Amino acid sequence: MRIAIASDHAAVSLKAVLAAWLREAGHDVLDLGPEDTASVDYPDYGFKLATAIADGSADRGIALCGSGIGISIAANRNPACRCALVSEPLSASLARVHNDATAIAMGARLIGEEMAKACVEAFLSAEFAGGRHQLRVDKLSTKVPA
């Protein structure tokens, strides 16, 4: 699977750990930056991640920042990306099963490396259930009713 991964400066270390771990597992990892801990703006990297999913450069995405909140909001600005903020494996799995999430976000200041790996593993191994969930997912890609 081709996985895009992006972070802000607060999550560069966790990004490196996850990227190496994913490569060891046989995944093709598209590292969208940044390369070091110099201060950057998380929206720029959330937008890059969402674009990689939208244009087909990546099948799934992992977005990281200090809390996971800001970068998830940024990624979700692109209607072709559904990014769920997760902090444990069950929510990571349900993000795929119920919401057909194409990306997950995590907070590097809030989650440890092993829990982050468990979330990624749960996310990547889960499949969208479709059925009644498809109608709801379709609504996520439409304009908000007035």
Residues tagged active-site: 65, 98
Specify whether the CB–CB gap between 3 and 58 falls below 8 A: yes
37: amino acid identity, one letter: T
CA–CA separation, 139 vs 28, rounded Å? 31
Helical H runs in 5-143? Answer: 12-24, 42-54, 69-75, 89-97, 113-125, 132-140
**Running DSSP on this structure, what letter comes out for residue 129?**
-
Q: Which of 28, 1, 34, 2 is nearest to 15 (CA)?
A: 34
